[in-house]
Structure formats: structure tokens, C-alpha cells
Amino acid sequence: MEYEVNGTTIEADEEGYITNLGEWTNDLAGVIATAEEIDMTEEHWAVVNFLREYYEEYQIAPAVRVLIKSIKKSLGKEVGNNKYMYELFPYGPAKQACKIAGLPKPTGCI
Amino acid sequence: MEDDVKKFLYVNRKAPYGTIYALESLEVVLIGAAFDQDVSLAFLDDGVFQLTKSQDTKEIGVKNFSPTFRALGDYEVTKLYVEKESLDERGLTLDDLQEITWEDEDDDYEEKPSIRIVTRAEMADVMADQDVILSF
């Protein structure tokens, strides 16, 4: 599949993860979020930005367990808990947030 | 620890690039970490090169996955045994390896080193102590 952003076509795989990580922009994140039926709030952005920083540092997208633990540490337990994270990203925080963040599907995510 | 927790050791003997073994091993470790087992990694022979710092893969056109070793602490993988003889034979010391730490939640999140240099004889004991050994 592919996304249209400001007249540019961005390639993605059949599940919607973009092919070239370098093509990611904030605008693209908004387009992917819309396709995922997610209304981006400040908390959504915080998670997406966290994921991008994690990937930048470690070259992997963290497993959901690791993601929630790390978010709890950096943003507090109001955001960093299973229930709230699934409210933000109903189809799985790691899976959906990574897609919006322009990262590959998390390792071990089936 | 619960009774059904087994000790898993992933043995890494190959250089990081040129074959897929090193990367595959690391991916299996990350996936396996979800199963709450007692996981250790061993690095011997050319496998010790996997942990060297300042790796640059630009010219060979593959991803440099060495930063991912530093994420292992988040996955509760905190024991990376490196064989001293293998380092010596390659002219390497602990200083040539990247710093890998884990945060001890039970000790005020203190950062503790994950890499443990062991002799060949100690490595044999580490192996003898495992329930499952996977070799890459």
C-alpha cells in the first residue's frame, strides 16, 4: 500500500508500515494516524516521539512490555499503563504507534 | 523464581557481519525475552567482535545492529559472558567493547554493567549450569 502526503506518494508494506524510514515526517504521521482511525493527541505524540528516540538509540522498536515500562518511567504511570496505552492505540500500542512513528514492526510482534 | 523458569544460554561464535547468525541470535533473544526465562548470552571466538564499539557498516550496506545490545537490559537480559581467551587471541580488551548496562529496579535503578569477562574454564562452568543452550 501507499500514503499520499502533500502530493508525494510514500511507499508502505501490505500492513501499512512505511518502506523507507527516512521518508517519515510529522505530516505523514498524521496521515497514517487517520488511516488507523486515530485522532492524534498530545499523549499520542509523546508515545510516537518516544518510539522514534528509542529506535534512534537502539535501532529496534521495543516490545510492548518494554514500551509500557519505559513510558511509565519517562511520562509517569498515568500514561505508562496497559489500559491507557490500549485506549490510545486500540489495536496495540507497539504495533500501531510504531506504524505512525514510521518504524518497522516491532521484533517479536506477530 | 518460579519452578518453570529455565536457564537459557545463547552462544555467539561468529563475527557480526558476513553471515546472518549474529543478528538472528539477537532477534531470537529479544523475542524469547517475552517468555520470562533466565537468559544469558555468551560471546566467544569471533563472536566477541559483535560487542566491539564504534562499528561502522556504511561501506558494506547493512544495518549496524550493535546499538541493540544496549537495549537488552530493558528486556531483563543482564548477563553477557565474554570469554577472556577469545579477546586475548584477537588483541582485544574490555575497553574495545561498548559499555552495556542494565538498571537494577531493586537497587534504586542503579546502572550495573552487563558484560562479564570470564576465563575459558569459567565459561565451561557457565555452560554446565544451563538447562538449554542455543548455538549461533
Domain membership flag for residue B65: yes
Domain membership flag for residue B59: yes
Domain membership flag for residue A35: yes
Q: What mean pLDDT do residues A95-109 have?
A: 84
Whether residue B130 is predicted with pLDDT greater than 60 in this model: the reply is: yes
- Angle separating helix axes A26-35 and A93-100, nearest 10 degrees: 130
Domain membership flag for residue B28: yes
Decide if B67 and A59 are in contact by the 8 Å CB cutoff: yes
Domain membership flag for residue B2: no
ipTM of the complex: 0.85
Nearest C-alpha in B relative to A68: B74
Query: Which CATH number goes with the domain that contains B123?
Result: 3.40.1260.10
Quote the number of domains for chain A: 1
Domain that holds residue A55: 2-100
Query: In Å, how far is A103's CA from the nearest CA of chain B?
Result: 14
Top-confidence residue, B112 or A6: B112
Decide if A59 and B75 are in contact by the 8 Å CB cutoff: no
Query: Which CATH number goes with the domain that contains A90?
Result: 1.10.10.370
Domain membership flag for residue B124: yes
Quote the number of domains for chain B: 1
Q: Which of A11-20, A89-98, B13-22 has the highest mean pLDDT?
A: B13-22
Q: What secondary structure does DSSP assign to A22-63, as a single string? A: GG--HHHHHHHHHHTT----HHHHHHHHHHHHHHHHHSSPPP
Domain membership flag for residue A41: yes
Q: What does the buried/exposed string (b/e) look like for B87-126 if buried means 16 or more CB atoms within 10 Å of the residue's CB?
A: beeeebeeeebeebebeeeeeeeeeeebbeebeeeebeeb
Nearest C-alpha in B relative to A108: B31
pLDDT of B93-111, one tens digit each?
Answer: 999 999 999 999 899 889 9
pLDDT at B19: 95
Domain membership flag for residue B47: yes
pLDDT of B31-90, one tens digit each?
Answer: 888 788 999 999 999 999 999 999 999 999 999 999 999 999 999 999 999 999 999 999
Please list every residue in chain A whose beta carbon sits closer than 8 Å to the beta carbon of residue B67. Answer: 57-59
Domain membership flag for residue A88: yes
pLDDT at A110: 46
For the entire predicted model, the pTM comes to 0.88
Domain that holds residue B44: 7-135
Please list every residue in chain B whose beta carbon sits closer than 8 Å to the beta carbon of residue A108. Answer: 27, 30-31, 34
Decide if B33 and A69 are in contact by the 8 Å CB cutoff: no
* Residues of A taking part in catalysis: 109
